[in-house]
């Protein structure tokens, strides 16, 4: 990841930018990358999950495929909904009802919430909450991977954490409704990603200079 930041800085510096202007431009580049990568990852994982389900149904049985992809990976469903809840609360939305794992038809769980605060922030709340299973999912994967390393020598604990990790990975998806909500709030997301990207570029540059 550090190589990516350095490559962006070098490219922008080669274009004649420097100082805060370079950091702001770099933040804008990172913001645009994040806005594209997050929904792309959500869509790709959803497609991969779909084809894995079809393969399991072909090799075994449709019922077996459904059980493996949904019931056997229930920790991923719960973490998926938890990501929605966490992001909704972080952005100021009000959560009305949550079912972390309640299979019903094509739904395995759900989060009902409504936007709160200024009307101008509603699209942002919808978009951020929609992409939460992907954006926060990477954080969850990193924490689980650290847990697996921490419990080295404890195979039972590691097996459980690996199960959670694979389950989370299979449920880091964005539905069509999520993608639509994400698209409606992309402008609000861009400005917030820009601030984060600027801070990353600013402090990355200072760390590099300091070393």
State the pLDDT confidence band at 107, using cuts at 50, 70 and 90: confident
- Domain range list for the chain: 2-210
Whether residue 158 is predicted with pLDDT greater than 90 in this model: the reply is yes
At residue 79, the pLDDT reads 95
State the average pLDDT over residues 165-192. Answer: 88
State the average pLDDT over residues 193-199. Answer: 87
- The strand ranges marked E within 45-200 are 94-99, 110-114
At residue 2, the pLDDT reads 58
Tokens of 14: 């080669």
At residue 207, the pLDDT reads 42
Contact 62, 52 (CB under 8 A): no
- Collect all residues with Cβ–Cβ distance below 8 Å to 90 and sequence separation of at least 6: 128
């Amino acid at each position: 990841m550090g190589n990516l930041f350095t490559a962006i800085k070098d490219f922008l510096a080669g274009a004649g930018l420097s100082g805060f202007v370079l950091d702001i431009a770099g933040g804008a580049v990172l913001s645009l990358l994040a806005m594209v990568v997050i929904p792309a990852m959500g869509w790709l994982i959803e497609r991969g999950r779909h084809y894995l389900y079809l393969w399991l149904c072909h090799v075994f049985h449709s019922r077996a495929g459904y059980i493996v992809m949904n019931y056997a990976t229930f920790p991923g469903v719960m973490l998926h909904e938890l990501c929605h809840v966490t992001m909704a609360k972080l952005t100021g939305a009000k959560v009305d009802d949550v079912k972390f794992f309640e299979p019903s038809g094509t739904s395995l769980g759900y989060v009902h919430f409504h936007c709160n605060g200024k009307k101008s922030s509603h699209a942002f709340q919808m978009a951020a909450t929609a992409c939460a299973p992907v954006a926060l999912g990477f954080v969850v994967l990193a924490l689980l991977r650290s847990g697996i390393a921490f419990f080295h020598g404890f195979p039972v604990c590691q097996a459980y954490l690996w199960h959670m990790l694979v389950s989370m990975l299979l449920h880091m998806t964005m539905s069509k409704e999520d993608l639509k909500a994400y698209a409606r709030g992309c402008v609000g997301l861009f400005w917030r990603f820009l601030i984060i990207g600027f801070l990353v570029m600013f402090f990355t540059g200072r760390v590099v200079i300091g070393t």
